């Protein structure tokens, strides 16, 4: 593996333990202002220092993340359909590798839609993106099984999706947890991380995380189960404890409950100002 590619992957999957906590906040690219991600900066800011990397679009990156904060960026570059559009699987690469380099990203992310109407296009997108990104030593994260395809969430379907993504050259695969998840991981020759999916009770989300790690996932790319929690910071810390500190479900849940009871540290003044910008008066 080329030095640059290896270096970028190590920003995402920590070499100390081969594990990853990625915070997913890219939902708006097809869902619009998702609940509790309506003001991205407000959602992202308190969580930034607890994730190893963050997955988002260039629009949210440029407007809602401080360029001086050293968090590795996983940039979503596919899109083109919305939740109310004709077919979610009809995506193209909508952000150039050139712009991704300008943004100093650590990886590019795009979706593939196995079994969907636009399966072919999404796979060709993946092959082309890997060709281009590898020129610059940038890894590609393939996202599998979003939207309708999620209904087929079983080991057979997810193994098929993940394996195909790896065969096309994806360096990391994001998928969903399912029964017999070991089969998905063992038949995929590159690291697998899991999405959290729709909001669960906190204990259940921690169980999902634990089971996935136990079955061989290197980590999570989790969104709603963190920032739709009433207590997002305790939740991401509890997820981290499973991914990086070998906590079991009970230990992680106990940590979550303990952190919920602790008084929240007030935000620094500059952060407060950023979150609550006063409207400026228009000159007549």
Q: Which residues are marked as active site? A: 174
Is 45 a binder of ligand R5P (CB under 6 A)? no
User: Residues 215-254 vs ligand R5P: string with x where CB under 6 A?
Assistant: ------xxxxx-----------------------------
Place of tokens 């929240």: 264
Instruction: Pick the closer one to ligand R5P by CB: 138 or 141.
Output: 141
Answer for which of 126, 146, 184, 239 binds ligand R5P (CB under 6 A) is: 146
- Binding-site size, ligand R5P (CB under 6 A): 15
**CB-neighbour burial class of residue 223 (10 A; exposed 0-12, middle 13-18, buried 19+):** buried
> Other CB atoms closer than 10 Å to residue 41's CB: what's the count?
15
Is 142 a binder of ligand R5P (CB under 6 A)? no
Is 190 a binder of ligand R5P (CB under 6 A)? no
- Window contacting ligand R5P (CB under 6 A); options: 46-54, 189-197, 244-252, 257-265: 189-197
Instruction: Pick the closer one to ligand R5P by CB: 40 or 223.
Output: 223
Answer for which of 136, 197, 211, 249 binds ligand R5P (CB under 6 A) is: 197
Is 125 a binder of ligand R5P (CB under 6 A)? no
* Tokens representing residue 8 in the block: 């970028």
C-beta nearest to ligand R5P: residue: 223
Is 79 a binder of ligand R5P (CB under 6 A)? no
* Tokens representing residue 37 in the block: 């991600």
Q: How near is the Cβ of 223 to ligand R5P at its closest, in Å?
A: 3
CA distance 116 to 118: 6
Q: How near is the Cβ of 57 to ligand R5P at its closest, in Å?
A: 10
Instruction: Pick the closer one to ligand R5P by CB: 139 or 196.
Output: 196
- Window contacting ligand R5P (CB under 6 A); options: 58-66, 88-96, 190-198, 234-242: 190-198
CA distance 173 to 259: 31
Contacts of 29 (CB under 8 A, 6+ apart): 57, 76, 79
Instruction: Pick the closer one to ligand R5P by CB: 223 or 232.
Output: 223
Report how far apart, in Å, the C-alpha atoms of 11 and of each of 61, 73, 196, 278 are.
17, 9, 21, 36
Is 80 a binder of ligand R5P (CB under 6 A)? no
Instruction: Pick the closer one to ligand R5P by CB: 190 or 193.
Output: 193
Is 149 a binder of ligand R5P (CB under 6 A)? no
Q: What residues line the site for ligand R5P (CB under 6 A)?
A: 24, 26-27, 55, 111, 143, 146, 195-197, 221-225
């Amino acid at each position: 593996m080329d030095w640059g590619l290896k270096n970028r992957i190590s920003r995402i999957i920590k070499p100390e333990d081969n594990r990853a906590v990625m915070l997913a906040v890219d939902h708006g690219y097809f869902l619009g202002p998702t609940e509790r991600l309506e003001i991205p900066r407000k959602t992202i800011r308190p969580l930034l220092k607890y994730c190893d990397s963050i997955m988002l679009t260039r629009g949210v990156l440029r407007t809602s993340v401080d360029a001086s904060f050293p968090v590795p960026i996983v940039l979503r570059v596919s899109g083109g359909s919305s939740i109310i559009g004709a077919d979610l699987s009809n995506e193209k690469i909508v952000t150039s590798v050139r712009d991704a380099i300008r943004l100093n990203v650590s990886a590019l992310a795009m979706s593939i839609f196995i079994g969907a109407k636009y399966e072919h296009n999404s796979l060709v997108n993946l092959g082309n993106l890997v060709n281009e990104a590898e020129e610059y030593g940038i890894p590609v994260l393939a996202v599998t099984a979003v939207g309708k395809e999620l209904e087929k969430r079983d080991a057979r379907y997810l193994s098929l999706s993940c394996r195909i993504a790896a065969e096309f050259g994806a360096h990391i695969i994001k998928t969903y947890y399912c029964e017999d998840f070991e089969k998905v991981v063992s038949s995929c020759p590159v690291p697998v991380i899991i999405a959290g999916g729709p909001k669960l009770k906190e204990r259940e989300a921690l169980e999902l995380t634990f089971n996935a790690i136990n079955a061989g996932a290197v980590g999570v790319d989790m969104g709603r189960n963190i920032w739709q929690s009433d207590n997002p910071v305790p939740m991401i810390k509890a997820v981290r404890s499973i991914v990086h500190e070998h906590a079991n479900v009970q230990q992680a849940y106990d940590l979550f409950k303990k952190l919920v009871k602790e008084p929240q540290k007030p935000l620094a003044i500059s952060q407060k100002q950023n979150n609550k910008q006063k409207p400026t008066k228009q000159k007549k």
